[in-house]
Amino acid sequence: MVDIPYEGIAGIPPAEVPEVELYHPRSWWTRYVFSQDAKVIAIQYSLTASAIGLVALVLSWLMRLQLGFPGTFSFIDANQYLQFITMHGMIMVIYLLTALFLGGFGNYLIPLMVGARDMVFPYVNMLSYWVYLLAVLVLASTFFVPGGPTGAGWTLYPPQAILSGTPGQDWGIILMMSSLILFIIGFTMGGLNYVVTVLQARTRGMTLMRLPLTVWGIFTATVMALLAFPALFVASVMLLLDRLLGTSFFMPSLVEMGQLSKYGGGSPLLFQHLFWFFGHPEVYIVALPAFGIVSDLISTHARKNIFGYRMMVWAIVGIGALSFVVWAHHMYVSGMFPQFGYFFATTTLIIAIPTAIKVYNWVLTLWRGDIHLRVPMLFALGFIITFVNGGLTGLFLGNVVVDVPLSDTMFVVAHFHMVMGVAPIMVVLGAIYHWYPKVTGRMLNDVLGKFHFWVTFLGAYLIFFPMHYLGLLGVPRRYFELGDTAFIPSSAHSLNAFISVVALTVGFSQMVFLFNLAWSLFKGEASGGNPWRATTLEWQTPETPPGHGNWGKELPIVYRWAYDYSVPGAAEDFIPQNQPPRATQLVQGAAS
């Protein structure tokens, strides 16, 4: 054992504040279906998000079939292609990644990592899931209504989003807006829970600066979401009114199908401002939980404390704050007052500073660490590489003069897929490999996991890296087919076919992962409570998977930060957060 800076909290039992009144399920229904237990809600969130995410994955295959082999597949027409693009983007960004990181990982990890028995208001938490499920069902129903889902692109820009000629103008756009409104209501109920749990329901000894970075990432992202989703809520309500009641918030007077439309005087730019005031923070709502989780994965599997913990926390908070003042960099080509571009380019590039701090700290954590290349670590390393790549192209696109020619090309598609598609998904997959043993008590199969990683990582690179080149050639995004355009060489077409083949391969390799998830549930090797020998509280629960109320009779007491790995002189190469300092010190501490 080793001398740990000791703060006099030993011997004081954790305060079970009077609000801790667990809801005890009395039947199968209230235990597994209408459950108020955050762990069950987390699994419900994760399964629902993954199910709708698989739909989005299939949509991407259809898009790639069309792009790679235009004219070959008669069952995809131009309208459907636009619908696939729209639904793929919307599902992946909001219904999969946001819901999975905050509703899934947030619900599971926050109470366990801060040493709480549950979220502060389990009933509201349960409602959150059911409203989210309703939002997903409304969204999915658009595939079956007359006219199909909206094809306005995931940004849903008016006026075209609600004009005739855009696919899904009848039902699709109305249901999309309704679904978004429901999602925001559901998310708010969950998000309030996550924030209050982190702020007010930590166990004794768990100061904010002892929280694992996972909690910091999810917490900051949730705060941002509570402040950013209102803009999307308002934009959705107003677009819905424009479509349903014929108001003209966003609709200018224009000629539609040869006739002057009923609209007049609205501002399409207003929608873009509202949308991106939500949309840019949304990037970091997805990225910050990934940052947090990856920090913990790297530290645990490199058996080394995270480098610069305090700076990591401030970087997360700083990125969160900055991301609210950069939104118009999505609008450089929208006809904005040009000098605003200067402001927004500056703020955008400033974000590179905290982001770079984080990347350096991850790399410095790895430096001379005892790196175990287990599957979660592989995904964490894959994240760093794809994220750096996506971040560097972000520097291109943040500059007005570079962005203008690259806008609406495949370069943008490559950039955001790298930075907020592949990178967070890498973390999601790594996190599933990491916490699956805690959720189920069994390990995922290692061989299948490594296969899954290499195909996914290399495949994702082969898909998205060439897209930068396509973008530099000027290949536009969202085009159904390129046709015989003079400036696009035939190599671009070959490259498109290549990307499609790889995309299908990577897509199907995910089935290996799904098989692994299902197979290991029954046949996986038993994991024990702490297979990775990690320090954070969720690995110290008396039962695995954690029981109702998480902690048995008494809440844990936290004595140290979350990163006591390879402490010199310590018996083990990790010291759990709830392990008291050595006995002599304990007496000293109680006396002082």
Partner 1 sequence: MAETVLTHAGQSTAQLEGWRGIAADWASDQRAFKNVSWGKAMMWIFLLSDTFIFSCFLLSYMTARMSTTVPWPNPSEVFALNIGGNHIPLILIAIMTFILISSSGTMAMAVNFGYRRDRVRTAALMLVTAAFGATFVGMQAFEWTKLIMEGVRPWGNPWGAPQFGASFFMITGFHGTHVTIGVIFLIAIARKVLRGDFDVERRGFFTSRKGYYEIVEITGLYWHFVDLVWVFIFALFYLW
- Residue 17 or 447 with smaller CB distance to partner 1: 17
Does 245 bind partner 1 (CB under 8 A)? Our answer is yes
Taking the C-alpha atoms of residue 51 and residue 62, their distance in angstroms, rounded to an integer, is 17
Taking CB under 8 A as the rule, does residue 579 contact partner 1? no
List the one residue from 160, 248, 399, 509 that touches partner 1 (CB under 8 A): 248
| Both tokens assigned to 171 | 């039902």
Distance CA 168, CA 147 (A): 5
Handedness of CA 224, 229, 235, 239 (dihedral sign): positive
For residue 484, state whether it binds partner 1 (rule: CB under 8 A).
Answer: no
Please state the closest distance from residue 309 (CB atom) to partner 1, in A.
12
Q: Does 346 bind partner 1 (CB under 8 A)?
A: no
For residues 9 and 402, which CB has a smaller minimum distance to partner 1 in the complex? 9
Which window, 38-46, 100-108, 237-245, 281-289, contacts partner 1 (CB under 8 A)? 237-245
- Residue 336 in the binding site for partner 1 (CB under 8 A): no
Whether 135 and 183 have beta carbons less than 8 Å apart is answered as yes
> Does 5 engage in binding with partner 1 (CB under 8 A)?
no
Please spell the DSSP secondary structure of 342-396, one letter per residue.
HHHHHHHHHTHHHHHHHHHHHHHHHTT------HHHHHHHHHHHHHHHHHHHHHH
Cβ closest to partner 1, residue 16 vs residue 446? 16
Identify residues 214-233 at the interface with partner 1 (CB under 8 A): 226-227, 229-231, 233
Smallest gap from Cβ 270 to partner 1, in A, equals: 5
Residues 576 and 4: beta-carbon distance below 8 Å: no
CA pair distance 105, 96, nearest whole angstrom: 12
Question: At how many degrees (to 10) do helices 423-440 and 375-398 cross?
Answer: 150
Interface residue with partner 1 among 2, 3, 7, 514 (CB under 8 A) is 7
327 contacts partner 1 (rule: CB under 8 A): no
Residue among 123 and 515 whose Cβ is closer to partner 1: 123
Does position 392 bind partner 1 by CB under 8 A? no
Contact between 335 and partner 1 per CB under 8 A: no
Which residue is associated with the tokens 């027409």?
Answer: 77
* C-beta of 13 vs 569, nearer to partner 1: 13
Q: Applying CB under 8 A, which part among 167-175, 196-204, 279-287, 470-478 lies near partner 1?
A: 196-204
Contact 501/68 with Cβ under 8 angstroms? Answer: yes
Q: Is the peptide bond before 466 cis (omega within 30 degrees of 0)?
A: no
Closer residue to partner 1 in complex, CB, 207/491:
207
Among 62, 131, 195, 397, binds partner 1 (CB under 8 A): 195
Instruction: Name the minimum Å distance from CB 29 to partner 1.
Output: 15
Cα–Cα distance measured from residue 26 to residue 80, given in angstroms and rounded to the nearest whole number: 48
> Nearer to partner 1 by C-beta: 320 or 376?
320
Nearer of residues 323 and 393 to partner 1, judged by Cβ:
323
> Which lies closer to partner 1 via its Cβ, residue 230 or residue 549?
230
As given in the structure block, the two tokens for residue 283 are: 């990037």
12 is a site residue for partner 1 (CB under 8 A): yes
Q: Which of 148, 151, 205, 217 binds partner 1 (CB under 8 A)?
A: 205
CB of 99 to partner 1, least distance (A): 18
3-class state of residue 259 by DSSP: strand
Which residues ranging from 276 to 295 are in contact with partner 1 (CB under 8 A)?
Answer: 277
Distance (Å, whole) CA 426 – CA 417: 12
Say which residues have a Cβ less than 8 Å from residue 483's Cβ, sequence separation at least 6.
Answer: none
Say if residues 282 and 230 touch (Cβ distance below 8 Å): no
Exposed/middle/buried for residue 129 (C-beta within 10 Å: 0-12, 13-18, 19+): buried
Q: Check residue 254 for interaction with partner 1 (CB under 8 A).
A: no
Q: Identify the residue among 134, 185, 270, 473 touching partner 1 (CB under 8 A).
A: 270
Encoded amino acid at 230, one letter: P
Find, among 419, 427, 187, 485, the residue nearest to 292 by Cα: 427
**Which residue type does 12 have?**
I
**CB-based contact 296:212 (threshold 8 Å):** yes
Instruction: Answer yes or no whether residue 202 interacts with partner 1 by CB under 8 A.
Output: yes
At closest approach, how far in Å is the CB of 193 from partner 1? Answer: 8
Report 488-517 residues binding partner 1 (CB under 8 A): none
Q: What is the largest CA-CA distance in the chain?
A: 87
Binning the chain into helix, strand and coil, the percentages to the nearest 5 are 65, 0, 35
* Stretch touching partner 1 by CB under 8 A, among 91-99, 114-122, 365-373, 544-552: 114-122
Q: Shortest approach of partner 1 to residue 174 CB, angstroms?
A: 16
Find, among 532, 434, 537, the residue nearest to 112 by Cα.
Answer: 537
Of 160, 247, 509, 585, the one binding partner 1 by CB under 8 A: 247
Does the protein bind partner 1 through residue 123 (CB under 8 A)?
Answer: yes
> How many angstroms separate the CA atoms of 106 and 95, rounded?
15
Q: For residue 537, what is the DSSP state?
A: G
3-state class (DSSP) for residue 476? strand
CB of 10 to partner 1, least distance (A): 10
In the set 40, 85, 109, 201, which binds partner 1 (CB under 8 A)?
Answer: 201
Owner of token pair 């509703």: 103
Is 246 a binding residue for partner 1 by CB under 8 A? The answer is yes
Q: How far is the CB of 350 from partner 1 (least distance, A)?
A: 21
Contact between 266 and partner 1 by CB under 8 A: the answer reads: yes
CA distance 367 to 375: 19
In the complex, the residues that contact partner 1 under the rule CB under 8 A are 7-9, 12, 15, 17-19, 21, 23, 120-124, 188, 192-193, 195-196, 199-209, 226-227, 229-231, 233-235, 237-238, 241, 245-249, 262, 264-267, 270, 274, 277
